[in-house]
Structure 1
Amino acid sequence: MMYEQQQFQQPMLKMDMRKKMERMSKSIEEEKLEMLDLSGMSLESLPSPSINLATICKLNLSNNNLQNIPESLTARLLNLMVLDVHSNQLRSLPNSIGCLSKLKILNISGNLMESLPKTIQNCRALEELNANFNKLSQLPDTIGFELINLKKLSVNSNKLIFLPRTTSHLTALRILDARLNCLRSLPEDLENLINLETLNVSQNFQYLDSLPYSIGLLLSLVELDISYNKIKSLPDSIGCLKKLQKLSVEGNPLTSPPPLVVEQGLHAVKEYLCQKMNDGYQSPTKKKSWVGKLVKYSTFNGYVRSGARERDQEREAFIMPEYRTMDGLASPRYMGMFSPRRLFSPRTYFSN
């Protein structure tokens, strides 16, 4: 028995040793990587590199007068993890940007770009994309399918009319900053953004006049800024955002909640929206609402109480004295069953 145990342990020891050797060689390789800083040198074109481009892990070309980045240059930056080209005169990125499989941070702010190459979706290690202060009118349609590690997306001060539908597939996203654009709407199915903590869509001025009901499914949301838009009514579902600590709504022609409620602070706004949700559920002409469906499938921690009058009329009232969370609605079990398009669509807001 002891001999068999030794035989079993020997391959395990060899495997551990192999892993340690791999880690050591990897750390040695990382030590050889270099950082190249060519910022603030008034460069109009890039000089021929005197070092092996594959050894560069961080490249800073910011604050120059560059109008383009050669395709051949980008293709050879095989170990690049940080690329900073902010404050140049770039009108586009090279298609070879997709070769940067290890790229984690990309800063292209303060340029003249009107679009991003579709190949950017191949930068699957990307965690932070800063494209502020450009002339972007759209983002690649498929950007959300591949950038599964993206945690921060900053596209403020552009000309974006909408965000791609695939934005809702950025499940690792924590910060989305799309202020100072021309957004007319947000993607309907936001429930997949389960890690989103900050959402800023302020200052889209006369363009953005409504929010999707699925905004109430952003269970990790801490800060929501929708100030200086044309929004007249907040979705009732916002009352269910348990972690929300900051809500900025100034500069909107809000009627629901009314200004008197807004002045009382976030807690008052949540209570108002939850009460409005309850009133909609109790309405005789609107027998069932999406709230009722959430209660049925235990995604809403409220309770149902029936009085004599209600029993006679075969009605039930959903009571929610405090704002409650919709925990579990974004879980894999219910994801397909409860699409906001079905639950929160104006056409199916109440079903018979």
Structure 2
Amino acid sequence: MMDSYFRGTWWMTFLLFTLPHLTCNMVCPSSCQCVEGAVKCVGYTITDIPKHLPVHTYLLLLNDTNMNVINEQSLGNKDLLLRFSLTYSHLHTIHPQAFHVAPQLKSVKLSYNDLSILPAQVFSPLTDLEQLHLDGNQLEIIAQDMFEGLVRLLDLDLSRNKLRNLSSDVFDGLTKLNFLNLGRNFIKKLPPTIFHSLTELRQLPIYNNELEVLEPGIFDGLINLEELKLHHNQISCLPPQVFWSLRSLTMLTLSSNQLKAIPEKSFYNMPKLRKLTIYNNPLLLLPDQLMGYMPDMREFYLYATNLTTVPGNLFANMSGLLSLNFHLNTFLYELPSDLFCCLPNLHKLSLKFNNLLYLHPQLFSKLTALDKLHLNNNKLQRLPENIFQGLGDILTIDLKNNHLKTLPGDIFLSNTGLRALTLSGNPWNCTCGIRGIAKWIRHNEHVVLDRDEVLCHSPLYQLLRTIGSLSDEEFKFCNATRYKSSFTTQNYLHEPTKPFYTISTSGKTSTVASTTTPPTTKSDTTQRVTEQITTSTTTPTTKSPVLHTTVPSTPLKTPSTSPPNNDFFLLTETQSTYDLSVPFYDTLVVEQGSEYVHHNLHKGWVYVWFLQSDTALTGFLMFCHILLVATGLFFILTTIYGMYRLNKIMDELKAEAAHTPG
């Protein structure tokens, strides 16, 4: 008996505990999923809120349904329902009494429907409501008393509607509101007192509207506001001190407006600010006193403006800044030397796509924590030797697409941690000045990511060679000492072409094209050089005057004083320091400004080819050369064709004569 009694009690207990669960599962409507009090229904077969739901349903989600109306009994008999969501369902009508049967609701989401009008005070019975989302509808007007009675409301989303105007007291009474979203509407103007009762507001997005002005004092009541988003409006001016009451603000976005100027001290009294964006504004200048004390600032965006320069103290109060986006300012050509003086924690600095022509040697010296530096797509023509000296932790430097022709050989010497460097898109001049950086590139090929695109643009004989392919052997002639000759040039300036001079050092006689005999020297230094040269001039009857010069075989020594200024240069071999290439052991070359292209050694003579530095003249000469070659080729082909035709005619005449009877 006892065993059967206990067995009966056990079964009874089991049924009592499982019956509610069985009941819940049994009444879950089709097209719905029911899980522990949460019901989700999806599908166009749903035309109204299901009447039979599990008794413990507290969350009801309806999505992508065919429900167009919430009538006065749609939410009836759902006393435990706390959160109701009807989204993406083309809802266009709400009965004025629809929420009277469910006053216990704490959350109502009617997002992305077709609501264009709401009955007056339709939500007023929901005195416990904390969340109301009406975003993504067609609302053009919000009645003045629409939110009356919603004293517990925390979250209100009105974004993505067609609102143009709002009443000054539409939000009165919402003293507990934390989040208010007005973004993506068509609001042109906001009343100056519209937010004054929202003392607990934390986030206020008003982005993507048509705001043209901000009324003075409009934010004065928002003493606890943390995020204010005003980007993508038409704001053309800011009232003085309009943000001064926002002492708790951590994010402010003013980008993509029409600001040409910002009043001084506009960003004072915001010590907690962490992110500020004022990019994509037609700013022409910034005042010297603009930024207040902002030790917690982490991100600053100032790009796509019309600024030509900025105050030197612009970032002085942002010691905690980590990322600075200061690019796409197409008129920005100059940066103050102390602009980045006070950013010890900066990790990323973007200066790309500006119009920078020059960088001060100490510009980056205080950025000891910097690891990414973007300088690409500017107009930098040269860089100071120690510009990157203080960047001990730098990992990435982007210098591509500038106007750089050369770089100091040890410019990256202190950047031992450098991992990524880009240099392509610059007009590199592969003469003596490139030797140092070419050697560095050869030894750090893994660092230069675009090394195969770092190409020589001049001189012509190095055109399209990669800098990394230039060997030390090709720069041996750079070790020669260059003297400025004492020869005067005034008698040669009228000549249509510039003469060049070759002087043999092996005792042979060299011929130099000239029209006059060089005068006496102008300094003691060059006199010591030219005293070794015995000059005699003869004038042939059929040629221009020729200067015969004989030089002893002893190499010339380097003078200890600087040579005087002159247009002629004497390239000499030093006696003990440098090792010149073989063709220059026995020959001195005097050049007159033309760009060195090539030299050949033939029978003791060095023949030097020059190309005019003038690009237009060079192009004209090349065109003439090609034209002459083409003309010659044309005449050759014409002659061959003429000979062919003549031969054919002769054959025809012979054949005709052979068939003619005698």
Does the alignment reach a TM-score above 0.5? yes
Give the aligned partner of residue 40 of structure 1. 112
For 1:195 and 1:270, the matched residues in 2 are separated by 33
Unaligned runs of 5+ in 2: 1-81, 84-103, 341-346, 351-358, 367-662
CA offset digits 1:7-38 (Å, max 9, x no partner): xxxxxxxxxxxxxxxxxxxxxxx996611111
1:122 to 197, 201, 204: 197
Pick from 131, 139, 161 the counterpart of residue 66 of structure 1: 139
* 1:151 has 2:198 as partner: no
Tell me by how many angstroms 1:211 deviates: 4.8
1:161, CA displacement in angstroms? 1.4
Q: Is the contact between residue 309 and residue 332 of structure 2 (CA under 8 Å) also seen in structure 1? A: yes
Distance (whole Å) between structure 1 residues aligned to residue 163 and residue 231 of structure 2: 17
TM-score, with normalisation over the residues of structure 2?
A: 0.34
Matched residues in 2 for 1:153 and 1:172: separation? 11
Q: For 1:220 and 1:181, how far apart are their aligned partners in 2?
A: 25
Alpha carbons 1:200, 1:225 under 8 Å: kept: yes
Judged with a 3 Å threshold, the aligned counterparts in structure 2 of structure 1 residues 157 and 50 are, in CA distance, closer, same or farther, namely closer
Contact kept? 2:263, 2:287, Cα under 8 Å: no
Compute the displacement of 1:101 (Å).
Answer: 1.0
| Equivalent pair of 1:62/1:86 in contact (CA under 8 Å) | yes
Cα 1:257/1:35, change in 2 over 3 Å: same
Task: Tell me by how many angstroms 1:97 deviates.
Answer: 1.2
Residue number in structure 2 paired with 1:229: 305
Equivalent position of 2:334 in the other structure: 256
CA shift, 1:142, in A, is 0.8
TM-score by length of 1: 0.62
CA distance in structure 2 between the aligned counterparts of 1:265 and 1:93, rounded to whole angstroms: 42
Q: Which runs of 4+ in 1 moved over 4 A?
A: 30-33, 267-271
Q: Which residue of 2 aligns with 1:5?
A: none
Once the two structures are superposed, residues 275-296 of structure 1 have per-residue CA deviations (whole angstroms, 9 ceiling, x without a partner) of 9xxxxxxxxxxxxxxxxxxxxx
Deviation at 1:163, TM superposition (A): 2.8
Residue range with higher mean Cα deviation, 165-174 or 248-257: 248-257
- Is 1:168 the counterpart of 2:168? The answer is no
CA–CA separation in structure 2 for the residues paired with 1:74 and 1:269? 59
Mapped contact 1:210–1:230 kept (Cα < 8 A):
no
Residues 1:109 and 2:183 are matched in the alignment: yes
The structure with the largest alpha-carbon Rg is: 2
CA deviation string 1:173-218 (max 9, x = no partner): 00000111011223422231101111100001x3443254332632
- Identify the residue that residue 80 of structure 1 maps to in structure 2: 153
CA distance in 2, matches of 1:270, 1:214: 26
Contact 2:231 2:257 (8 Å CA) reproduced: yes
1:166 shift after superposition: 2.5
Higher relative contact order (CA 8 A, sep 6+): 1
Query: Deviation of residue 232 (structure 1)?
Result: 1.8
Q: Which has the larger share of helix?
A: 1
- Whether 2:265 is the aligned partner of 1:192: answer no
Structure 2 letter corresponding to 1:255: Y
Unpaired stretches in structure 1, ≥5 consecutive residues: 1-29, 276-352
SS in 1 for 2:243: helix
Amino acid at match of 1:35: S
CA–CA distance in structure 2, aligned partners of residues 130 and 208 of structure 1: 27
Identify if the C-alpha distance between structure 1 residues 271 and 174 changes in structure 2 by more than 3 Å, giving closer, same or farther: farther
Query: Do the aligned residues in 1 keep the contact of 2:283 with 2:307 (CA within 8 Å)?
Result: no
Residues 330-341 of structure 1 correspond to what in structure 2 (within 5 A)? none
One-letter amino acid of the counterpart of residue 324, structure 2: L
Paired-residue identity, %: 26
Residue 74 of structure 1 deviates from its aligned partner by 1.9
CA distance in 2 between partners of 1:128 and 1:269 (Å): 41
Task: Name which of structure 1's ranges 195-204 and 120-129 shifts more when overlaid on structure 2.
Answer: 120-129
Query: How big is the shift at 1:255?
Result: 2.9
> What per-residue deviation string (whole Å, max 9, x for no partner) do you get for residues 132-174 of structure 1?
1111112231133221101000011101112332212211000
- Which amino acid in 1 is paired with 2:144? E
Q: SS where residue 129 of structure 1 aligns?
A: strand
Shift of 1:242: 1.2
- Conserved 8 A contact 1:209-1:229: no
Change in 2 beyond 3 A, CA 1:212/1:121: farther
Give the whole-Å Cα distance in 2 for the aligned partners of 1:269 and 1:191: 29
Cα distance in structure 2, aligned partners of 1:207 and 1:103:
35
Aligned twin of 1:7: none
Distance in 2 separating the partners of 1:271 and 1:240 = 19
Q: What is the match of residue 301 of structure 1?
A: none
Quick check: 1:137 aligned with 2:209? Answer: no
Aligned to 1:56: 129
CA pair 195-34 structure 1, distance change in 2 beyond 3 A: same
Amino acid at match of 2:363: Y
How many residues end up aligned between the 2 structures?
243
> Is contact 2:326-2:349 (8 Å) kept?
no
Deviation per CA, 1:202-259: give whole Å up to 9, x if none: 001x344325433263222111111000122222221452111111111212233289
- DSSP-derived class of the 2:215 partner: coil
Quick one: distance in 1 between partners of 2:161 and 2:176? 23
Partner of 1:306: none
For 1:214 and 1:152, locate their aligned partners in 2 and report how far apart those are by CA, in whole Å. 20
Asked whether the equivalents of residues 105 and 126 of structure 2 are also in contact (C-alpha less than 8 Å), the reply is no
For residues 215 and 175 of structure 2, the distance between their equivalents in structure 1, rounded to whole angstroms, comes to 18
1:241 aligned to which of 318, 335, 342? 318
What is the distance in 1 between the residues matched to 2:298 and 2:362?
A: 17
Q: 1:218 to 1:247 in 2, by over 3 A?
A: same
1:100-130 Cα deviation digits (max 9, x unpaired): 1111111111111011222312211111110
Q: Is the 8 A contact 2:238 2:262 kept in 1?
A: yes
- Which of the numbers 355, 363, 366 marks the counterpart of 1:272? 363
Q: C-alpha displacement at 1:40, in angstroms?
A: 1.3
Contact 1:174/1:197 (<8 A) preserved: yes
Corresponding letter in the other structure for 1:197: R
Find the aligned partners of 1:43 and 1:124 in 2 and give their Cα distance. 30
* Aligned mates of 1:96, 1:170 — CA distance in 2: 22
Distance 2:138 2:129 in 1: 22
Check if 1:99 corresponds to 2:173: yes
Return closer, same or farther for 1:71/1:85 CA change in 2, 3 Å cut-off.
same
Contact preservation (8 Å) 1:109, 1:131 = yes
The CA deviation string for residues 297-324 of structure 1, in whole angstroms up to 9 with x for no partner, is xxxxxxxxxxxxxxxxxxxxxxxxxxxx
User: Deviation digits for residues 17-66 of structure 1, max 9, x if unmatched?
Assistant: xxxxxxxxxxxxx9966111111120011146377132211110011101
**1:90 is matched with which residue?**
163
1:135–1:159 CA contact under 8 A, matched in 2: yes
Counterpart in the other structure of 1:285: none
- Give the match for residue 286 of structure 2: 210
For 2:205 and 2:232, locate their aligned partners in 1 and report how far apart those are by CA, in whole Å.
11
